Amino acid sequence: MKYPAQVLARHMPRWFTLVLAVVGGYLTDLGFPDVGIWLLAIAGVGMLFLATMRDAPAWNFLIGLVWGLTFFLVHIRWAQYAVGDVPWVALSVMEALFVALSMLAWTYVRRVPVITRRAGLQAIAFALVFVAGELARSAVPFGGFPWGRLAFSQSESPIGRLAWLGGMPLVSLVAAVCAALLALAVGALGRFNLLRAGSCALVAVAAIGVGLAVPLATQAESGTLQVGAVQGNVATPGLDAFNHRREVLNNHVAGTYALLDLVAPGDLDLVVWPENGTDIDPQVDADAATAIDDAAQAVGAPLLIGSQEFPETGGRYNVSLLWEPGVGVVGRYAKQHPAPFAEYIPIRSLVRPFSSAVDLVTNDMIAGTEVGIVNLDSPRLGRVVKIGDAICFEVAYDALVQDAVAAGAEMLVIPTNNASFGPTNESTQQLAMSRLRAIETGRTTIQISTVGVSAVIAPNGVLLEQTGLFTAEQMVSPVALRTSLTPAVRAGEWPARTVLAAATLLTAAGVVVSIRSRRRTGQDAASSAGAAKKAAAKKAAARA
């Protein structure tokens, strides 16, 4: 039995399915910031569903590759700005291959008879395989690269609110189900089956709207902190933005003093700086220590500053240091997930012939080993407040953020450095992730960047304050501290594990069905050939 989209696909020339893949990949990117029309991301994935309706594994692998290349080459164009053409293309190709493998698996999954016969199961199975591909590329190779997950396009969608229930895997899954249902509706329209088209579309709309029923609380549960955030800016964007490290430090020191235009000394409980707010380690540089401590004493609050540490054994750590006025460093978090080929270079000797950009990283970053928690001793609250810290790209990794909240984080800080990416949309893509993390964890989240975009985000994902790009700005905001754990944090990695297990089982079932079908076809052919031989022998005997 052919379902509507398959019937429509039989009338599609192959060149048209390639067009669908290209348009779908491009539309999907438009669902992300800066354009940010989230429904376009769903439509783009729906086009991928339609384009892969031919029962041809190799062709659907190609369709997935074309869709993936179109999407990623546009979506991570900021990588080209930062590190050049070869790394940008190589990363895009690697990510696109995961989409291609997912669509190869989907070809086999839909051969399972129960899936072939039921439109609802087709939509769910497609979504499981698609999201499993996202999860796989978020984990491998070299720790994975989660950028461009469908969930990250849904920060302003009702679907995004489902992050509170099941994190990013659930958001991506529901969005992909909606995409497949809308594609099935189009397939039914192609056959003038208005009842099937209407029912699929109605279920898709209901799935989109179900997030509105999710209760997203924002009130403080354990008091509030008055937090200042400093976006110091840099003189020039790009890879050379931090060639003048003292100037960048001075910009953030000046921004800290500028907070006194908004508050009186002692009014703040904490001031946060971005990643690389000072690339001069104040633990070893006396001038940097003096400048930072003078600023901290002027505002009368500890500073959470982004810096680097250079151990004697070699390498470097990307750290957030909690600086107490008159005391110095009293807390520390080291980035657990350095970015491969950006903060450290794996297989350096193999990569160098393809791009000299690897030599821009002269000192590889070392991974920290502790959960992202910084303990702030708050005199006003009379207790220690646990601050969750995820540095830069770490916001894209589910476990790092969830582990911090499970360990007691009452708010989240995402210190980041977007200067290397210039005027691209990398910063707003990252902001969308931070908004979803706020929903997922039920925590007020502050994304603070060297150059923007920085923001204060309520636990329901609403932007409370936001800065511009490549500006020197400050923000002051009361932060609601929360201690309750959302279902997503309690579930941890189980939603992802469930999706991966289900997709694996479905793929295995599809492969088994295909093998059995091939054997039956071979047996039938052999039987037919045997019968023909017997008939021919009888005729020959009769003639004799």
- At 530 the pLDDT is 64
The model's pLDDT over 108-126, given as tens digits with 9 standing for 90+, comes to: 999 999 999 898 999 999 9
Burial of 199 (C-beta count, 10 Å sphere; 0-12/13-18/19+)? middle
Higher per-residue confidence, 318 vs 7 = 318
Residue 363 amino acid letter:
N
Kindly indicate the confidence band of residue 1, based on its pLDDT and cuts at 50, 70 and 90: very low
Kindly indicate the confidence band of residue 532, based on its pLDDT and cuts at 50, 70 and 90: low
pLDDT tops 80 at residue 106? yes
The model carries a pTM of 0.93
Query: How many of the other CB atoms lie within 10 Å of CB of 451?
Result: 29
Kindly indicate the confidence band of residue 445, based on its pLDDT and cuts at 50, 70 and 90: very high
Is the sign of the CA dihedral 71, 457, 332, 422 positive or negative? positive
Kindly indicate the confidence band of residue 356, based on its pLDDT and cuts at 50, 70 and 90: low
- At 518 the pLDDT is 79
Question: Which residue has 């500053």 as its token pair?
Answer: 305
Q: How far apart are CA 35 and CA 29, in angstroms?
A: 8
Respond yes or no: is residue 335 known to be catalytic. Answer: yes
pLDDT tops 60 at residue 4? no
- At 55 the pLDDT is 87
Least reliable range by pLDDT among 130-139, 189-198, 288-297, 482-491: 189-198
The model's pLDDT over 454-484, given as tens digits with 9 standing for 90+, comes to: 999 999 999 999 999 999 999 999 999 999 9
* Length of the chain counted residue by residue: 544
User: Active-site residue among 386, 392, 426, 473?
Assistant: 392
Is 509 in contact with 106 (CB distance < 8 Å)? no
- At 326 the pLDDT is 97
Q: How far apart are CA 466 and CA 455, in angstroms?
A: 4
pLDDT tops 60 at residue 347? yes
The model's pLDDT over 37-77, given as tens digits with 9 standing for 90+, comes to: 999 999 999 999 999 998 899 999 999 999 999 999 999 99
- At 389 the pLDDT is 98
Give domain 224-485's CATH architecture: 4-Layer Sandwich (3.60)
pLDDT tops 70 at residue 210? yes
Kindly indicate the confidence band of residue 83, based on its pLDDT and cuts at 50, 70 and 90: confident
Respond yes or no: is residue 275 known to be catalytic. Answer: yes
The model's pLDDT over 388-429, given as tens digits with 9 standing for 90+, comes to: 999 999 999 999 999 999 999 999 999 999 998 999 999 999
Considering 227-236, 353-362, 481-490, the range whose residues carry the highest mean pLDDT is 481-490
Dig out the tokens for 268 from the structure. 């703040």
User: DSSP string covering 463-503, please?
Assistant: EEEE--SS--EEEEEEEE---PPPHHHHHTTHHHHHHHHHH
Respond yes or no: is residue 426 known to be catalytic. Answer: no
Q: What share of the chain is helix, strand, coil (3-state, %, to 5)?
A: 55, 15, 30
- At 12 the pLDDT is 80
Compute the mean pLDDT over every residue in the chain, rounded to the nearest whole number: 92
Least reliable range by pLDDT among 28-42, 186-200, 344-358: 344-358
- At 412 the pLDDT is 98
Q: How far apart are CA 468 and CA 453, in angstroms?
A: 6
Is 225 in contact with 479 (CB distance < 8 Å)? yes
pLDDT tops 60 at residue 172? yes
* Domain-wise residue ranges, the chain: 4-215+494-520, 224-485
Considering 76-85, 156-165, 414-423, the range whose residues carry the highest mean pLDDT is 156-165
Least reliable range by pLDDT among 26-30, 85-89, 107-111, 125-129: 85-89
In 3D, which of 104, 97, 186 has the Cα closest to residue 136? Answer: 97
In 3D, which of 408, 416, 410 has the Cα closest to residue 434? Answer: 416
- At 325 the pLDDT is 98
Q: How far apart are CA 427 and CA 249, in angstroms?
A: 21
- At 375 the pLDDT is 98
pLDDT tops 70 at residue 159? yes
Contacts of 312 (CB under 8 A, 6+ apart): none
| Type and span of the H or E element at 445 | strand 445-449
**Is the backbone of residue 539 left (phi > 0), alpha (psi -120 to 50) or beta?**
alpha
Higher per-residue confidence, 349 vs 33 = 33
CA distances for 335 relative to 172, 275, 386, angstroms: 26, 10, 17
Dig out the tokens for 361 from the structure. 């990283």
Higher per-residue confidence, 270 vs 340 = 270
Q: How far apart are CA 89 and CA 96, in angstroms?
A: 10
- At 359 the pLDDT is 64
pLDDT tops 70 at residue 8? no
User: Active-site residue among 95, 275, 410, 426?
Assistant: 275
User: Active-site residue among 95, 335, 394, 410?
Assistant: 335
Phi, psi values for residue 492, rounded to 5°: 60, -125
